[in-house]
């Protein structure tokens, strides 16, 4: 009997209760407590998972992709321990295991599904019985936290070097920074990518997104872009090209807020998948989830039904019903993410009013200059820009300035620092049956969900 | 806009040096030129392009990651350095942020003591620091005045510590934050119409008086005089004040 482990679990569980009683979500503090008592708590519990662990990392799409992976695994009748709700630092991981363990220190699960940000990969890699690692994409995100992008890629690369040789590594072929992690590794590498060029454009929205070749440093040439620096590329200098994906999207049709239809191809055949998540970036998330589960031997039809049944995860993109109106909450945290959300808003030609709520607390990133890298010009120059935008949060005025300089008419911008006021004003502007697009940063999202809960709307929660 | 005075803007290394929303500065210059009834023209200039910068009115260079900064360092000193110095001596407006600012100085001394040369346009030098200087900044600068207010606001994130030679003027005195080096209370540098600074955020959109100062200086050089009518800066002023308020609070809370 491991008394240290038991004590760590008991104290962790007690902290969950205390923290919930005091109104907190209990997603990291219990992990801190448990790790302080037993630093090996993750390792001891993770190694009890019968089939091993799956690690998901990358800048954008971790939470949604993990949710999809989890839904596919459950569809295949596996039991999954998963650190949900986006608390993906090491404490969040520990907290998830502590909560899943029983008071005797046992975990009954087949898979541990662990999503961590790029900086945490190295810290957990040795503590998990790794079967697979999935890397989604690399974008610039909160530079004040990880330093620079090259450094971020380096952190993940070092983590992968410590993964066991029999683990599967699933990499995004369309992101040269991710695909560049593949060559020369002893592990089994599985690439995934989009082959349908219907939504590709010949030019990048912003030239700044072109990345240097990971092998030789020369500037990459692109035949087409999906978004940001994701696309079909090749290096004119060393000849490195986008790897041919094993799991790919052969055809895709976006249906706006309703979701997307696609045809996936694996080495066992083609099959149709419908997802209820909107936007091309969620097509990537579904593709990534399909790739890693396919690589673990889950049959194609189970992958398809798992994805079809998967539903929105904690505020990444979810719809809340409020008195016959709808609020679509879409988390924004970096330029690539906000570009993807802007695209999705514009796909809905009925979208008339928006709220953008920008906080600059630690969890949001204290430096808000990333707003200037977001493609708000696309929103303003659209043939159907929103009729009005309310900016909110601590840096509401900065957001208003950004919109004004993107060419959006200043008289259609309202600044309301209070999120409660912004939500009420936004709801007042839309009619019954309409959708208010609400784009908060992380802490603003937590705040607005709390406002919604206090107002008693949570019971009518409706997920995309 | 047609028929307005032309303003030629060059964005240097937009593909390599755009670390912290630096393009916001170019957007601000471009938009305000339009709103002032001028005819701005924007050119992107990158590695290996040899240009006579005296043909331009406003030049901008931002900050980059270490790898990219090394790439442009060669280009800066070997290909463009002399032309940049000539242009600044000729009165062309140059705004350089963070990494760009460091490269205008004499050298950057790394943690291992290696000296990476700059173009020496500014009598300044930079030394690698151990601690990153991060946070909201407010400075007081003689270059701008709105009523009796001389404040310029921004966000800094740098580990290099820059020191100015005796004859070189700072952009301003630090009221809140660290500035050039966190020691002497100075931020940025001004030489003729060239400004180097660590402030991003982006810098210019929230400091419209500074943007207009730069546009005005470029007009005076090319056309002899500049009368910029005041614009409606209500939103910019709110953001400016909010940034000062935020700089007084603890970071991240």
User: Which tens digit of pLDDT belongs to each residue from B119-134?
Assistant: 999 999 999 998 989 9
Claim to verify: residue A9 and residue A103 sit in the same structural domain: yes
Q: Is residue B152 part of a domain?
A: no
B11 and chain A in contact, CB less than 8 A: no
Burial of A297 (0-12, 13-18, 19+ CB in 10 A): exposed
Span A257-262, average pLDDT? 82
Confidence check: pLDDT of A81 > 60: yes
Span B78-85, average pLDDT? 91
Claim to verify: residue A284 and residue A267 sit in the same structural domain: yes
Claim to verify: residue A301 and residue A362 sit in the same structural domain: no
Decide which of A278, A309, A340 is a domain's last residue.
A309
Measured between beta carbons, the chain A residues lying within 8 angstroms of B23 are 208, 372-373
DSSP A336-347: HHHHHHHHHHHH
**Gap between the Cα atoms of B98 and B115, Å rounded:** 18
Burial of B249 (0-12, 13-18, 19+ CB in 10 A): exposed
pLDDT confidence bin for A207, thresholds 50/70/90 = very low
Q: Residue B63 sits in which domain range?
A: 6-129+160-166+187-231
pLDDT at A206: 55
CB contact under 8 A, A369 and B21: yes
- B200 noted as active-site residue: yes
pLDDT at B186: 97
Confidence check: pLDDT of B30 > 70: yes
pLDDT at A108: 92
Claim to verify: residue A232 and residue A322 sit in the same structural domain: no
Q: Is residue B106 part of a domain?
A: yes
DSSP A279-329: SHHHHHHHHHHHHHHHHTT--HHHHHHHHHH----TTTEEEEEETTEEEEE
Tens of pLDDT, residue by residue over A242-255, are: 999 999 999 999 87
pLDDT confidence bin for A224, thresholds 50/70/90 = confident
Measured between beta carbons, the chain B residues lying within 8 angstroms of A400 are 235, 238-239
CATH of the domain at A225: 3.40.1190.10
> Poorest-confidence range of A63-72, B45-54, B85-94?
B45-54
pLDDT at A459: 38
Q: Which of B98, B158, B194, B240 is catalytic?
A: B98
Shortest distance, CA A145 to any CA of chain B (angstroms): 11
Claim to verify: residue A94 and residue A211 sit in the same structural domain: yes
Span A448-463, average pLDDT? 67
pLDDT at B74: 86
Shortest distance, CA A129 to any CA of chain B (angstroms): 35
Span B66-92, average pLDDT? 88
Measured between beta carbons, the chain B residues lying within 8 angstroms of A143 are 19-20, 157
Span A138-162, average pLDDT? 78
Span B201-206, average pLDDT? 95
Measured between beta carbons, the chain B residues lying within 8 angstroms of A362 are 251-253
**Averaged pLDDT of chain B:** 92
pLDDT confidence bin for A354, thresholds 50/70/90 = very high
> Which residues are registered as beta bridge partners of A212?
A219
pLDDT at A74: 95
Decide which of A309, A337, A357 is a domain's last residue.
A309
Q: How many domains is chain B partitioned into structurally?
A: 1
pLDDT at B210: 98
The nearest alpha carbon in chain A to B33 belongs to: A405
CB contact under 8 A, B20 and A143: yes
3-state secondary structure of A82: strand
pLDDT at A462: 34
- For residue A398, give the nearest of B31, B157, B239 by CB distance: B239
Measured between beta carbons, the chain A residues lying within 8 angstroms of B157 are 143-144, 367
pLDDT at A200: 82
pLDDT at A464: 32
- 8 A C-beta contact, residue A247 and residue A291: yes
Shortest distance, CA B207 to any CA of chain A (angstroms): 11
Q: Provide residues of A within 8 Å CB-CB of chain B.
A: 143-144, 148-150, 207-208, 210, 212, 217, 219, 360-362, 366-373, 394-398, 400-402, 404-407, 410, 413, 415
CATH of the domain at B28: 3.40.50.880
The nearest alpha carbon in chain B to A147 belongs to: B65
Claim to verify: residue A219 and residue A140 sit in the same structural domain: yes
Measured between beta carbons, the chain B residues lying within 8 angstroms of A394 are 246
Q: Is residue B57 part of a domain?
A: yes
Span A26-32, average pLDDT? 78
Claim to verify: residue A176 and residue A301 sit in the same structural domain: yes
Tens of pLDDT, residue by residue over A307-349, are: 998 876 545 677 788 888 889 888 898 887 888 889 888 888 8
Claim to verify: residue A252 and residue A348 sit in the same structural domain: no
- For residue A405, give the nearest of B31, B242, B246 by CB distance: B31
CB contact under 8 A, B155 and A148: no
Confidence check: pLDDT of A211 > 80: no
Shortest distance, CA B59 to any CA of chain A (angstroms): 18
Confidence check: pLDDT of A460 > 70: no
Decide which of A309, A343, A364 is a domain's last residue.
A309
The tally of CA atoms less than 13 A away on the side-chain side of residue A233 is 33
Q: Residue A332 sits in which domain range?
A: 317-462
Claim to verify: residue A168 and residue A273 sit in the same structural domain: yes
pLDDT at B71: 79
ipTM of the modeled complex: 0.95
Share of chain A above pLDDT 90, in %: 58
* Cα distances (angstroms) measured from residue B127 to each of B41, B162, B177, B237: 36, 6, 19, 35
Highest-confidence range of A167-171, A225-229, A359-363, by mean pLDDT?
A167-171
Measured between beta carbons, the chain B residues lying within 8 angstroms of A217 are 67
Claim to verify: residue A266 and residue A151 sit in the same structural domain: yes
Handedness of CA A314, A319, A324, A325 (dihedral sign): positive
The nearest alpha carbon in chain B to A406 belongs to: B27
The nearest alpha carbon in chain A to B17 belongs to: A208
CB contact under 8 A, B65 and A149: yes
CB contact under 8 A, B246 and A360: yes
pLDDT confidence bin for A422, thresholds 50/70/90 = very high
Measured between beta carbons, the chain A residues lying within 8 angstroms of B74 are none
Q: Is residue B84 part of a domain?
A: yes
The nearest alpha carbon in chain B to A365 belongs to: B252
pLDDT confidence bin for B216, thresholds 50/70/90 = very high
Handedness of CA A151, A155, A158, A164 (dihedral sign): negative
Claim to verify: residue A17 and residue A65 sit in the same structural domain: yes
pLDDT confidence bin for A87, thresholds 50/70/90 = low
pLDDT at A195: 95
Claim to verify: residue A289 and residue A382 sit in the same structural domain: no
CB contact under 8 A, B246 and A395: yes
Greater confidence (B175 vs A207) lies with: B175
Tens of pLDDT, residue by residue over A367-381, are: 999 999 999 999 999
Share of chain B above pLDDT 70, in %: 99
* Cα distances (angstroms) measured from residue B77 to each of A273, B74, B120, B197: 55, 5, 9, 19
Q: Is residue B195 part of a domain?
A: yes
Nearest by Cα to A315 from A444, A153, A178, A125: A444
CB contact under 8 A, B66 and A150: yes
Share of chain A above pLDDT 70, in %: 91
Span B23-32, average pLDDT? 96
Confidence check: pLDDT of A205 > 70: no
Q: How many domains is chain A partitioned into structurally?
A: 2
Q: Is residue B138 part of a domain?
A: no
How many residues are there in chain B? 253
- For residue B235, give the nearest of A210, A369, A413 by CB distance: A413
Q: Which of B11, B36, B158, B200 is catalytic?
A: B200
pLDDT at A28: 76
pLDDT at A461: 35
3-state secondary structure of A331: coil
**Gap between the Cα atoms of A413 and A425, Å rounded:** 12
Confidence check: pLDDT of A280 > 80: yes
- Which residues make Cβ contacts (< 8 Å) with residue B227, sequence separation at least 6? none
Highest-confidence range of A28-42, A136-150, A281-295, by mean pLDDT?
A281-295
CATH of the domain at A416: 3.90.190.20
B141 and chain A in contact, CB less than 8 A: no
**Averaged pLDDT of chain A:** 88
Confidence check: pLDDT of A350 > 50: yes
Span B85-95, average pLDDT? 97
Nearest by Cα to A330 from A460, A437, A464: A437
pLDDT confidence bin for A213, thresholds 50/70/90 = confident
Shortest distance, CA A339 to any CA of chain B (angstroms): 14
**DSSP percent split of chain B into helix, strand, coil, nearest 5:** 30, 30, 40
Phi, psi of B98 (to 5 degrees): 50, -110
- 8 A C-beta contact, residue A19 and residue A91: no
């Amino acid at each position: 009997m491991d008394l240290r482990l038991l004590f760590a679990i008991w104290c962790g569980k007690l902290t969950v209760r205390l923290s919930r009683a005091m109104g907190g979500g209990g997603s990291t503090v219990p992990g801190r407590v448990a790790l302080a008592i037993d630093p090996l708590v993750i390792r001891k519990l993770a190694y009890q998972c019968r089939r091993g662990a799956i690690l998901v990392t990358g800048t954008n799409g971790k939470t949604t992709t993990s949710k999809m992976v989890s839904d596919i695994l459950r569809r295949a009748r596996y039991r999954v321990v998963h650190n949900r709700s986006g608390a993906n630092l090491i404490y969040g991981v520990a907290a998830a295991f502590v909560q899943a363990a029983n008071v005797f220190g046992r975990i009954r699960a087949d898979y541990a599904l662990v999503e961590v940000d790029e900086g945490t990969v190295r810290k957990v890699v040795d503590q998990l019985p790794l079967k697979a690692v999935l890397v989604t994409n690399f974008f610039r995100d909160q530079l004040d936290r990880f330093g620079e992008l090259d450094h971020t890629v380096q952190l993940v690369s070092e983590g992968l070097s410590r993964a066991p040789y029999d683990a599967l590594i699933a990499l995004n072929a369309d992101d040269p920074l991710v695909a560049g992690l593949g060559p020369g590794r002893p592990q089994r590498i599985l690439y995934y990518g989009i082959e349908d060029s219907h939504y590709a454009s010949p030019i990048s929205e912003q030239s700044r997104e072109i990345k240097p070749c990971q092998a030789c440093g020369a500037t990459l040439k692109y035949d087409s872009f999906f978004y940001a620096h994701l696309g079909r590329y090749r290096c004119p200098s060393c000849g490195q090209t986008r790897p041919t994906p094993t799991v790919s999207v052969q055809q895709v049709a976006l249906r706006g807020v309703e979701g997307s239809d696609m045809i996936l191809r694996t080495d066992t055949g083609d099959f149709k998948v419908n997802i209820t998540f909107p936007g091309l970036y969620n097509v990537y998330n579904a593709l990534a989830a399909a790739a890693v589960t396919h690589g673990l031997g889950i049959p194609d039809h189970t992958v398809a039904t798992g994805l079809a049944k998967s539903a929105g995860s904690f505020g990444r993109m979810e719809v809340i019903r409020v008195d016959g109106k709808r609020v679509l909450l879409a988390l924004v945290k970096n330029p690539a993410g906000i570009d993807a959300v802007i695209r999705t808003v514009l796909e809905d030609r009925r979208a008339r009013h928006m709220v953008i709520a920008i906080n600059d607390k630690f969890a949001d990133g204290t430096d808000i200059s990333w707003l200037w890298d977001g493609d708000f010009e696309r929103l303003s120059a659209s043939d159907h820009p929103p009729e009005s935008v309310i900016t909110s949060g601590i840096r509401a005025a900065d957001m208003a300035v950004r919109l004004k300089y993107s060419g959006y008419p200043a008289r259609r911008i309202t600044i309301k620092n209070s999120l409660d006021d912004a939500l009420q004003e936004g709801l007042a502007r839309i009619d019954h049956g309409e959708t208010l697009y609400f784009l908060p940063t992380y802490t603003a999202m937590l705040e607005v969900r709390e406002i919604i809960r206090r107002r008693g709307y949570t019971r009518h929660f409706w997920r995309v | 806009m047609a028929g307005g005075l032309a303003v030629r803007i060059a964005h240097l290394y937009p593909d390599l040096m755009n670390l912290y929303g630096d393009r916001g500065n170019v957007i601000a210059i471009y938009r305000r030129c339009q709103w002032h009834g001028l005819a701005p023209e924007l050119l992107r200039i990158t590695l290996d392009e040899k240009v006579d910068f005296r043909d331009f009115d406003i030049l901008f260079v931002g900050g980059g990651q270490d790898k990219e900064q090394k790439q442009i360092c060669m280009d800066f000193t070997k290909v463009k350095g002399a032309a940049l110095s000539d242009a600044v001596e000729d009165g062309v407006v140059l705004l350089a942020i963070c990494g760009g600012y460091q490269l205008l100085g004499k050298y950057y001394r790394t943690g291992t003591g290696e000296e990476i040369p700059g173009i020496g346009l500014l009598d300044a030098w930079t030394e690698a620091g151990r601690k990153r200087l991060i946070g909201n900044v407010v400075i007081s600068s003689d270059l701008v005045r709105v009523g009796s207010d001389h404040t310029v606001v921004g966000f800094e994130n740098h580990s290099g510590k820059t020191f100015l030679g005796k004859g070189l003027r700072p952009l301003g005195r630090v009221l809140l934050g660290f500035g050039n080096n966190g020691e002497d209370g100075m931020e940025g540098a001004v030489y003729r119409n060239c400004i180097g600074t660590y402030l991003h955020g982006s810098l210019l959109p929230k400091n419209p008086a500074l943007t207009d100062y730069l546009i005005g200086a470029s007009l005076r050089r090319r056309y002899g005089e500049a009368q910029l009518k005041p614009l409606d800066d209500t939103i910019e002023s709110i953001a400016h004040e909010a940034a000062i308020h935020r700089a007084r609070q603890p970071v991240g809370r």
